[in-house]
């Protein structure tokens, strides 16, 4: 096990990693920008190094400053968290070249799976169904339109280097195709520096189902079952749960095994998530692999009672996975609500400001992952996530009831948050009856 | 001329007296003559004025360096003297070096004059030696870091008394 690592991230995930480090007896070095200088989790870290001004480009995204901090603190490894540099191939490569272990997949696996087209090809080789679509990138809108007609509308134009729903356009007919094609390319170029796009059939009213996996350096891989993340708004997840409430055992087994086949074929190491779409006939289609720990990882931790960040540290330090799949069990139902500083009544516009009154919820089965405290100022520099509330109860009805009780208790003043929107969703008839899909939020709210 | 010399001697004596008795201000009136002397505030006991986070950085250092660093900080001014001093802060994360090479003289010392282009130190980051310029004009009044010390972004390295 490492004796000292650096966390190249901030906020709740930095705190999460500090906690896993301390349980393993690993010293945690935190880096921070001047905007985060008063964050209390820095006091929990064994060392804290200021790496720059608030602007992420000058701090959390600044590779030279982070590597320099790693060198002066003399750490053995870097945990990139999620977002920022977590899926940056260049950063992973630089860590390797500097003799610092990157806590995540090898450069080659990250590069392969980070290219959505290569990932789709790999899935096919692994005998995993993919969404019907283009073989590779499509350069001309005429070529794309021909393929769209062949696959059948509606189709979705997606960025090869994409993520977070950017560089994506759903097109329902050939009339709007050309402008959507160019818009998607422009957005992809702006967001990812790569305007290449590909085409997929748009699955009607799908569920987003993802499988949590880990793999070690010896090729052993385990899954921790699935999460259903269908409650999304503009491709940003709002509510996640495990298990997926509409999966039968047979399909669960098939989808989890499909995920492991992809991971093994990619020679993937460490924690990752394989994403699928589930259509109305319970058929699943591979979408992409997220080569990092995810925001919603606590949902899986609650139902399986495994510390995923600890697994990341163990695998990265060279420990083999000594458990077998039959040791991984899931019990009960866990739900997570992401609480953002956004005003649902005002089109979810972000609401920065100082939180003058903060009282988090508690009680049986309630977990709150946050860096926020009374007096914290939510700034515009970074994402608007304030806290993650995760509940775990014996069944879905119990989990929903506990989550609603917890959200009602949660005091965050005076900033506006997405708590009211979460409460509405949790009370919605369709959500309760499991008749939802990824378009549910935008259709009903 | 003789009168001026005598006056100067008196003033010097007064200054000595003020120092010995730890006086901040002295005003002496003698008929129409008045002399008023004000001394900059005496040093308060050394309270390290660094932020809470800094101890984490210095714990990355060897014990010797850490001890030296805190001595330098203690010897530097208390809060009152900082109001007119210009701070030179680290623009990088890395290792501070006061000298161009192990055997040479430091770039600057206490009392060294600096202009905006004067190189005051080197900060090594990822094997690259970055020359740090003063970017202000004046005299080095305080040096807050020691050779080989790890420094973070924004850490105060020097305080300069402006001209």
Choose among A32, A45, A68: nearest Cβ to B92: A68
What's the confidence (pLDDT) of residue B107?
97
Q: Which of A68, A33, A39 is nearest to A51 (CA)?
A: A33
Cα separation, A81 vs A10, whole angstroms: 8
Q: Distance (Å) from the C-alpha of residue A7 to the closest C-alpha of chain B?
A: 15
* Residue B87 near chain A (CB below 8 Å): no
Is residue A253 predicted with pLDDT exceeding 60? Answer: yes
B31 and B97, same domain (yes or no): no
* Residue B150 near chain A (CB below 8 Å): yes
* Residue A409 near chain B (CB below 8 Å): no
Query: Residue A117 domain-assigned?
Result: no
B10 and B84, same domain (yes or no): no
A192 and A216, same domain (yes or no): no
CATH number at residue A136: 3.30.1490.20
* Residue A50 near chain B (CB below 8 Å): yes
Q: Which of B132, B59, B144, B93 is nearest to A32 (CA)?
A: B93
Domain extent, residue A186, equals: 132-201
What's the confidence (pLDDT) of residue B67?
39
B80 and B152, same domain (yes or no): yes
Q: Is B60's CB within 8 Å of A69's CB?
A: no
Reading the block at residue A439, the tokens are: 């378009």
Among A103, A123, A149, residue at a domain's last position? A103
A399 and A420, same domain (yes or no): yes
Mean pLDDT of A66-80: 98
Domain extent, residue B156, equals: 54-162
Q: Which of A260, A249, A369, A387 is nearest to A309 (CA)?
A: A369
Query: Residue A112 domain-assigned?
Result: no
What's the confidence (pLDDT) of residue B80?
46
What's the confidence (pLDDT) of residue A383?
87
Task: Identify all chain A residues contacting B153, using CB atoms and an 8 Å cutoff.
Answer: 34, 49-53, 59, 65
Task: Identify all chain B residues contacting A64, using CB atoms and an 8 Å cutoff.
Answer: 125-126
> pLDDT, tens digit, for every residue of A348-389?
998 999 999 999 999 999 999 999 999 999 988 998 999 999
Q: Identify from B51, B53, B92, B93 which residue to disrupt to test chain A contact, counting A C-beta atoms within 10 A and taking the largest count.
A: B93
Length of chain B: 163
Query: Residue A119 domain-assigned?
Result: no
Q: Is A50's CB within 8 Å of B93's CB?
A: yes
A217 and A195, same domain (yes or no): no
CATH number at residue A12: 3.40.50.20
B143 and B104, same domain (yes or no): yes
B70 and B21, same domain (yes or no): no
Q: Which of A274, A315, A278, A308 is nearest to A293 (CA)?
A: A308
* Residue B156 near chain A (CB below 8 Å): no
Q: Is A73's CB within 8 Å of B60's CB?
A: yes
A302 and A352, same domain (yes or no): yes
> How many domains does chain A contain in total?
3
Task: Identify all chain A residues contacting B52, using CB atoms and an 8 Å cutoff.
Answer: 43
Specify the residue for token string 């004596």.
Answer: B13
Q: Is A50's CB within 8 Å of B94's CB?
A: no
Cα separation, B64 vs A435, whole angstroms: 66
B63 and B118, same domain (yes or no): yes
Choose among B51, B60, B153: nearest Cβ to A51: B153
The region of weakest confidence among A23-32, A168-177, A434-443 is: A168-177
A159 and A300, same domain (yes or no): no
Q: Is A74's CB within 8 Å of B51's CB?
A: no
Taking each continuous run of H as one helix and of E as one strand, the counts in chain A are: 15, 22
Q: Which of A200, A418, A212, A356 is nearest to A296 (CA)?
A: A212
Query: Residue B46 domain-assigned?
Result: no
The set of catalytic residues of A is 292
* Residue A97 near chain B (CB below 8 Å): no
> pLDDT, tens digit, for every residue of B66-119?
334 333 343 444 444 557 899 999 999 999 999 999 899 999 999 999 999 999
What's the confidence (pLDDT) of residue A164?
67
A233 and A154, same domain (yes or no): no
B118 and B145, same domain (yes or no): yes
CA distances to A162, B59, B89, B153 from A66, in Å: 24, 18, 18, 11
Cα separation, B155 vs B95, whole angstroms: 12
Q: Identify from A36, A47, A54, A61 which residue to disrupt to test chain B contact, counting B C-beta atoms within 10 A and taking the largest count.
A: A47
Task: Identify all chain A residues contacting B56, using CB atoms and an 8 Å cutoff.
Answer: 42, 45-49
B95 and B149, same domain (yes or no): yes
B141 and B101, same domain (yes or no): yes
Buried b / exposed e over A388-425, threshold 16 CB at 10 Å, is bbbbbbeebebbbebbbebbeebebeebbbbbebbbeb
* Residue A430 near chain B (CB below 8 Å): no
Is residue A242 predicted with pLDDT exceeding 50? Answer: yes
Query: Residue B94 domain-assigned?
Result: yes
pLDDT band of B53, cuts 50, 70, 90: very low
Query: Residue A344 domain-assigned?
Result: yes
Q: Classify A57 as helix, strand or coil.
A: helix
B48 or A119, greater pLDDT: A119
ipTM of this complex prediction, to 2 decimal places: 0.80
Mean pLDDT of A18-41: 97
Residue percentage of chain A with pLDDT more than 70: 100
What's the confidence (pLDDT) of residue B55?
35
Cα separation, A26 vs A309, whole angstroms: 13
What residue in A sits closest to B123 (Cα-Cα)?
A68
Reading the block at residue A282, the tokens are: 């319970």
* Residue A73 near chain B (CB below 8 Å): yes
- Helix (H) or strand (E) holding A393, with range, is strand A385-393
Reading the block at residue A134, the tokens are: 């283009």
Q: Which of A218, A212, A297, A208 is nearest to A256 (CA)?
A: A212
Residues in Cβ contact with A7 at an 8 Å cutoff, skipping those fewer than 6 apart: A14, A17, A18, A28, A29, A30, A31, A45, A78, A79, A81
* Residue B92 near chain A (CB below 8 Å): yes
B61 and B34, same domain (yes or no): no
Q: Residue window 126-145, chain B: list those with CB within 8 Å of chain A.
A: 126
A376 and A274, same domain (yes or no): yes
Cα separation, B143 vs B129, whole angstroms: 20
B87 and B139, same domain (yes or no): yes
What's the confidence (pLDDT) of residue B57?
38
Query: Residue A297 domain-assigned?
Result: yes
Is residue B1 predicted with pLDDT exceeding 80? Answer: no
* Residue B54 near chain A (CB below 8 Å): no
> How many domains does chain B contain in total?
2
Cα separation, A109 vs B29, whole angstroms: 85
What's the confidence (pLDDT) of residue B2?
58
Residues in Cβ contact with B58 at an 8 Å cutoff, skipping those fewer than 6 apart: B65, B66, B69, B70, B149, B150
Q: Are A207 and A435 in contact (CB under 8 A)?
A: no
A194 and A81, same domain (yes or no): no
Query: Residue B49 domain-assigned?
Result: no
Query: Residue A84 domain-assigned?
Result: yes
Q: Residue window 254-313, chain A: list those with CB within 8 Å of chain B.
A: none
A282 and A385, same domain (yes or no): yes
Q: Residue window 56-85, chain B: list those with CB within 8 Å of chain A.
A: 56-57, 59-60
> pLDDT, tens digit, for every residue of B116-134?
999 999 999 988 999 999 9
Query: Residue B45 domain-assigned?
Result: no
A228 and A300, same domain (yes or no): yes
Specify the residue for token string 């060294």.
Answer: B112
Query: Residue B44 domain-assigned?
Result: no
Among A201, A223, A239, residue at a domain's last position? A201
Specify the residue for token string 């007296």.
Answer: B17
CATH number at residue B84: 2.40.50.100
Is residue A48 predicted with pLDDT exceeding 50? Answer: yes
CATH number at residue A223: 3.30.470.20
Cα separation, A399 vs A415, whole angstroms: 26
B157 and B110, same domain (yes or no): yes
The region of weakest confidence among A169-173, A304-308, A388-392, B38-42 is: B38-42
B13 or A224, greater pLDDT: A224
Reading the block at residue A303, the tokens are: 């139902």
């Amino acid at each position: 096990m490492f004796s000292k690592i650096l966390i190249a991230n901030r906020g709740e995930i930095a705190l999460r990693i500090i906690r896993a480090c301390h349980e393993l007896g690993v010293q945690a070095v935190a880096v921070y920008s001047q905007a985060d200088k008063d964050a209390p989790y820095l006091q929990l870290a064994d060392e804290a190094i200021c790496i720059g001004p608030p602007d992420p480009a000058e701090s959390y995204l600044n590779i030279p400053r982070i590597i320099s901090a790693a060198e002066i603190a003399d750490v053995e490894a870097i945990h990139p968290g999620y977002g920022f540099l977590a899926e940056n191939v260049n950063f992973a490569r630089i860590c390797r070249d500097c003799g610092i272990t990157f806590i995540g997949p090898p450069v080659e696996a990250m590069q392969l799976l980070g290219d959505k087209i290569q990932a789709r090809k790999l899935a096919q080789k692994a005998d995993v169904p993919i969404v019907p679509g283009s073989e590779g990138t499509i350069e001309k809108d005429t070529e794309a339109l021909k393929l769209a007609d062949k696959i059948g509308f509606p189709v979705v134009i997606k960025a090869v280097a994409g993520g977070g729903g950017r560089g994506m356009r759903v097109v329902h007919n050939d009339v709007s195709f050309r402008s959507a094609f160019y818009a998607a390319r422009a957005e992809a170029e702006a967001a990812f520096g790569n305007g290449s796009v590909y085409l997929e059939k748009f699955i009607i009213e799908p569920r987003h189902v993802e499988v949590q996996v880990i793999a070690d350096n010896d090729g052993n891989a385990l899954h921790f079952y699935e999460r259903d993340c269908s409650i999304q708004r503009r491709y940003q997840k709002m509510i996640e749960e495990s298990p997926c409430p509409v999966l039968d055992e047979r399909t669960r087994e098939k989808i989890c095994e499909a995920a492991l086949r992809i991971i093994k074929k990619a020679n993937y190491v460490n924690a990752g998530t394989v994403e699928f779409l589930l259509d109305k006939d319970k058929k699943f289609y591979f979408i992409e692999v997220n080569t990092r720990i995810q925001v919603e990882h606590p949902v899986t931790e609650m139902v399986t009672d495994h510390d995923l960040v600890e697994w990341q540290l163990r695998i990265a330090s060279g420990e083999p996975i000594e458990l077998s799949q039959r040791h991984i069990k899931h019990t009960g139902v866990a739900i997570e609500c992401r609480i953002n500083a956004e005003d649902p009544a005002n089109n979810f516009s972000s609401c920065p400001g100082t939180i003058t009154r903060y009282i988090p919820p508690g009680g049986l089965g309630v977990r709150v992952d946050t860096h926020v405290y009374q007096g914290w100022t939510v700034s515009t520099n970074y994402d608007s996530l304030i806290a993650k509330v995760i509940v775990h109860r014996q069944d879905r009805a119990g989990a929903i009831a506990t989550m609603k009780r917890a959200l009602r208790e949660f005091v965050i003043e005076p900033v506006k948050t997405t708590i009211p929107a979460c409460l509405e969703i949790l009370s919605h008839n369709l959500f309760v009856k499991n008749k939802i899909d990824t378009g549910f939020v935008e259709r009903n709210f | 001329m003789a009168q001026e010399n005598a006056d100067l001697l008196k003033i010097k004596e007064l200054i000595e007296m003020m120092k010995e008795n730890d006086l901040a201000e002295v005003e002496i009136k003698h008929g129409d003559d008045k002399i008023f002397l004000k001394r900059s505030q005496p040093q308060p006991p050394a309270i390290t004025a660094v932020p809470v986070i800094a101890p984490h950085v210095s714990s990355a250092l060897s014990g010797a360096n850490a001890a030296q660093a805190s001595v330098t900080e203690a010897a530097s001014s208390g809060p009152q003297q900082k109001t007119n001093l210009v701070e030179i802060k680290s623009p990088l994360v890395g290792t501070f070096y006061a000298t161009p090479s192990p055997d040479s003289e430091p770039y600057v010392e206490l009392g060294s004059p600096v202009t905006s282009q004067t190189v005051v130190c080197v900060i090594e980051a990822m094997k690259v030696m970055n020359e740090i310029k003063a970017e202000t004009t004046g005299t080095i009044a305080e040096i807050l870091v020691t050779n080989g010390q790890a420094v973070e972004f924004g850490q105060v390295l020097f305080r300069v008394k402006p001209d």
